[in-house]
């Protein structure tokens, strides 16, 4: 079924519901989550998280998203009947970056849908304002 996985981006993949588990094909892992299964563990960019038992991630050869979140220690919500899952960074990792006073980079659409990357403005002082219509 159409499965939506949200991490730092929203990605869609063909997945399968197995009871309360949501499974995605192992060859779709990187495309769906940004994480890759390598000999040294689960890797994303320069970061690798060792995984003791990679078989524990698999059900019938597919990746179980809840087990993936547990292996990464990423807070994870799986709504299997609806085919939607979301994973967020562990608080300790996010806190380390914020306490180091490093501004994270991000890319978001402007009101015309054009992507804007924050680091384009390196070299300028920025007053970053988060606001909302509500």
Partner 1 sequence: MFAIAVDESADHARPWVEEGKCTFPVVYDRDRVAVEALGIINVPTVLWIDEHNRIVRPQDAQFPNDNLIAFHGRASEGHLDALRRWVRDGEAPLTIDEARAGARLPSDDEQLARAHFRVGVQLLRADKREAALAHFETAGELSPIDWTIRRAAIALRGDDPFFSPEFIEMFQGWQEAGRPGYNLA
Binding span for partner 1 by CB under 8 A among 31-39, 43-51, 54-62, 77-85? 77-85
Tell me if 89 sits within 8 A of 74, measured CB to CB: yes
β-bridge partners, 62: 25, 59
Binding span for partner 1 by CB under 8 A among 33-41, 44-52, 53-61, 119-127? 119-127
Q: Is 112 in the site for partner 1 (CB under 8 A)?
A: yes
Tell me the backbone φ, ψ of residue 116, rounded to 5 degrees.
Answer: -125, 125
Q: Is 121 in the site for partner 1 (CB under 8 A)?
A: yes
Q: Is 79 in the site for partner 1 (CB under 8 A)?
A: yes
**Best CA proximity match to 3, nearest among 50, 52, 68:** 68
Tokens representing residue 68 in the block:
């993936």
Q: Is 113 in the site for partner 1 (CB under 8 A)?
A: yes
Member of 8, 21, 26, 34 binding partner 1 (CB under 8 A): 8
């Amino acid at each position: 079924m159409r499965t939506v996985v949200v991490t730092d981006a929203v990605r869609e993949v063909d997945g399968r519901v197995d009871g309360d588990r949501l499974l995605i094909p192992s060859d779709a892992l990187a495309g769906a989550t940004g994480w890759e299964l390598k000999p040294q563990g689960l890797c994303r960019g320069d970061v690798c998280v060792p995984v003791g038992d990679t078989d524990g991630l698999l059900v019938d050869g597919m990746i179980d998203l809840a087990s993936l979140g547990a292996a990464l220690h990423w807070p994870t919500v799986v709504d299997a009947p609806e085919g939607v899952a979301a994973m967020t960074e562990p608080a300790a990792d996010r806190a380390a970056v914020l306490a180091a006073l490093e501004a994270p980079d991000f890319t978001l659409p402007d009101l015309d849908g054009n992507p804007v990357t924050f680091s384009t403005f390196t070299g300028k002082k920025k007053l970053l304002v988060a606001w909302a219509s509500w």
